[in-house]
Amino acid sequence: MRSKVVVGNWKLNGSLAGNEQLLKQLLADIPKGGPATCAVCVPYAYLAQARDVLKGSAIGWGSQDCSRFEKGAYTGDVSAKMVAEFGSRHAIVGHSERRTVFGDTDAHVAEKYSQAKRAGLTPIFCVGETLEEREKGSTEAVLARQVDALLAKDSLDGGIVAYEPVWAIGTGKTATSAQAQEAHAFIRGRIAAKAKDVAARLPILYGGSVKAANAAELFAMPDVDGGLIGGASLVAEEFVSIWRAAGGTSKG
């Protein structure tokens, strides 16, 4: 039995004052021992703040990327080890915005995943097709390529996968629960062909315009183990409602 996981992806948003308010609201509503795991992935610059506000709470924190290198002459990069030094639990790797805007290839993503794992983080490995790919009928081929590239270099044991159809990210268009289930089952099956036990216990999160209004329906699907939440993670009430839809109980 897999328990649910809800992770916020703040992207390039936040300020010291605004974060403090948001994190304190989350702390007030997300108790320890709830049935759903909760975390926020913040800009690197706010990892120390997340640690200071959240330490000892039910809410984990982490980064939205990490370097594919361990250390050295890579100006501007931040290593997984550095992220881990802030008590982080997660690093997202392979987010579609990193793939499209910053040119991360499948091979880079696999390297980042391994760096995160080696640093003791739980990587959140993102996969997903574009609208064009879906319309061409190549969704499964894209997912297979992305998953296989990771499995060629590392195991998904101990990691998390996030299925994020690119056409649903930040667009307000959510995959239907049936579309999400179909993609999640495909991903799990692809991994199971290589490692059945790993696939059975692997959390696969859905990401793409999840809101309080659609979370429960998505999370009710048998292969949807929670969500990676972008825009809605910046609004405390929305994020808490999504966490509750994943089975979280409220303090209040």
By residue count, the chain amounts to 252
Binding residue for ligand PEP (CB under 6 A) from 110, 160, 191, 229? 229
Pick from 93, 84, 127: which is nearest to 113 by CA?
A: 93
Residue sitting closest to ligand PEP (CB): 230
Q: Indicate whether 226 belongs to the interface with ligand PEP (CB under 6 A).
A: no
The single-letter code of the amino acid at 15 is: S
- Please say which residue, 7 or 83, places its beta carbon nearer to ligand PEP: 7
CB of 51 to ligand PEP, least distance (A): 22
| DSSP assignments along 41-58, one per residue | E--GGGHHHHHHHHTTSS
Element (H, E) at 111: helix 106-118
**In 126-203, which residue ranges form alpha helices assigned H by DSSP?**
131-135, 139-151, 177-192, 196-201
- Please say which residue, 6 or 228, places its beta carbon nearer to ligand PEP: 228
Question: Which of the ranges 27-35, 48-56, 218-226, 230-238 carries the binding residues for ligand PEP, by CB under 6 A?
Answer: 230-238
Catalytic residue among 97, 111, 133, 164: 164
Has 111 been annotated as catalytic?
A: no
The single-letter code of the amino acid at 121 is: L
Pick from 4, 3, 49: which is nearest to 229 by CA?
A: 4
Binding residue for ligand PEP (CB under 6 A) from 5, 156, 228, 236? 228
How many residues contact ligand PEP, by CB under 6 A? 14
Per-residue binding string, ligand PEP, 175-214, x by CB under 6 A, is: --------------------------------xxxx----
Q: Indicate whether 67 belongs to the interface with ligand PEP (CB under 6 A).
A: no
Q: Indicate whether 131 belongs to the interface with ligand PEP (CB under 6 A).
A: no
Has 184 been annotated as catalytic?
A: no
Across 152-187, b (16+ Cβ under 10 Å) vs e yields eebebeebbbbbbbbbbbeeeebbebebbbbbbbbb
Query: Which DSSP state fits 233?
Result: G
Which residues does residue 92 pair with via DSSP β-bridges, in sequence order? 124
Q: Which two tokens stand for residue 181?
A: 């289930």
Q: Indicate whether 169 belongs to the interface with ligand PEP (CB under 6 A).
A: yes
Q: Indicate whether 164 belongs to the interface with ligand PEP (CB under 6 A).
A: yes
Question: Which of the ranges 72-80, 110-118, 189-197, 224-232 carries the binding residues for ligand PEP, by CB under 6 A?
Answer: 224-232
Contacting residues toward ligand PEP, per CB under 6 A: 9, 11, 164, 169-170, 207-210, 228-232
Please identify every residue annotated as catalytic.
95, 164
